Amino acid sequence: MTSRIRNAYDIRVEEGVLTPDPAQAEVLVALERLETDLARRGLFGRPPEVKGIYLWGPPGRGKSMLMDLFYSATPEPRKRRAHFHAFMARVHDLVRQWREGDSKSRKAVFGTHKGDDPIPPIAKLIASEARLLCFDELQVTDIADAMILGRLFEALFEDKVVLAITSNRAPEDLYKNGINRQLFVPFIDIIRDRCAVVQTAGARDWRLDRLSSAQVWHTPDDRAGFEELWRELKGGEPEEPAHLAVLGRDVVVERTVGSMARARFADLCGRPLGPQDYLAVAARFHTLFLEDVPILGPSNQQEARRLVTLVDALYEAKTKLIVLAAARPEALYTEGVGAFEFERTVSRFNEMQSKDWLAHVRE
């Protein structure tokens, strides 16, 4: 009998949505094993211990696409899927609620728990919500995350939570050269013990293949091309908002798919955002679709200044940029304070459309 994940994959191949990739065969087998194990029942109907999966490899090899198919196909009723950054943002918020709350407010959120350690009640809460947790793009660069992960996941595994993870890095390379990394190493051991580690190292990066031949600067008469490129790159994955914690503030990017984001010029440059906000956007996303960029002038020179800062952040982070603008880069801002300096941004816009730029692989 064909597994659900295999059937979903084959249907998309038949429809022409996917091109068969031999490098994905091992991943499909591993996901089929996980699908079967999740359907098993232990003694007295209790859920058995199930080994999860950790998929890692370069960007663009279909990890998120396969995870999306698996998540949609698995009949496990208690399941959650999230980008890892979003999951950790919620964990940090729950830590804050625990530490700032009194016994009454703690009980309202977490139920009855003794002691002052927030990790056990947070793990119990998460485990009560989902047996299967699917994470996209696990990466650890923050010491606060590093210090939490080992204890949190150990507690989740004790409650028989199953993980399905994608990452660009092998477990051993997570938080590499990070501060106090020796305190993070137990988390790596836990992942190795509780998840089957599968590498997706196919030769093709289908996103880069598509971008290398794509037009990435669009004007209003080619809005359809901008929309089609967004649809192709996000595939069948659902859009969701991303929350970025910046200097104690919550910066929301409403339309994201994994490490791709889509935003209007008014949302990123029409609001009083600053360099740290744009650095956070550039670090979080490998590709940004920026739409409805108007012709700028003296009346909106602040928006022009923010656009310069945004492009600088994207450029330094090697983030791919697809633009829908009212004019070509050279005609965007020709009059107003900083118009002369804007020529550097025009140069960057043009470089970011080059094949060399689009072919760059960002870790």
The winner for highest mean pLDDT among 87-91, 107-111, 153-157, 248-252 is 153-157
- Out of 169, 199, 229, a domain closes at 199
Same structural domain, 192 and 260: no
Beta bridge mates, 320: 287
- The answer on pLDDT for 122 being more than 90 is yes
- Whether residue 184 sits in one domain with residue 213: no
Query: How far, CA to CA in Å, does 120 sit from each of 84, 167, 183, 337?
Result: 20, 26, 18, 55
Task: For residues 205-225, give the mean pLDDT.
Answer: 77
Give the model confidence (pLDDT) of 314-324 as tens digits: 999 889 999 99
Segment 317-336 shows an average pLDDT of: 93
In this structure, the answer to whether residues 104 and 221 fall within a common structural domain is no
Residue 289 bridge partners (DSSP): 262, 322
Can you state the percent helix, strand and coil of the chain, rounding each to 5? Answer: 50, 20, 30
**Domain span at 330:** 206-359
Percent of the chain with pLDDT over 70: 92
Mean pLDDT of the chain: 87
Q: What's the CATH code of the domain at 286?
A: 3.40.50
**CATH code for position 187:** 3.40.50.300
The model's pTM is: 0.68
Residues 137 and 227 in one domain: no
Number of domains in the chain: 2
Name residue 258's amino acid.
Answer: G
Cα angle 120, 125, 126 (rounded to 5 degrees) comes to 100
pLDDT above 90 covers what percent of the chain?
A: 45
Q: Do 184 and 244 sit in the same domain of this protein?
A: no
Both 10 and 82 in one domain: the answer is: yes
User: Token pair of 83, please?
Assistant: 């980008």
Place of tokens 């920026």: 290
In whole angstroms, what is the distance from residue 111 CA to residue 176 CA? Answer: 37
Residues 179 and 223 occupy one common structural domain: no
pLDDT of residue 47: 72
Give the closest residue to 69 by CA, choosing from 130, 7, 154, 111: 7
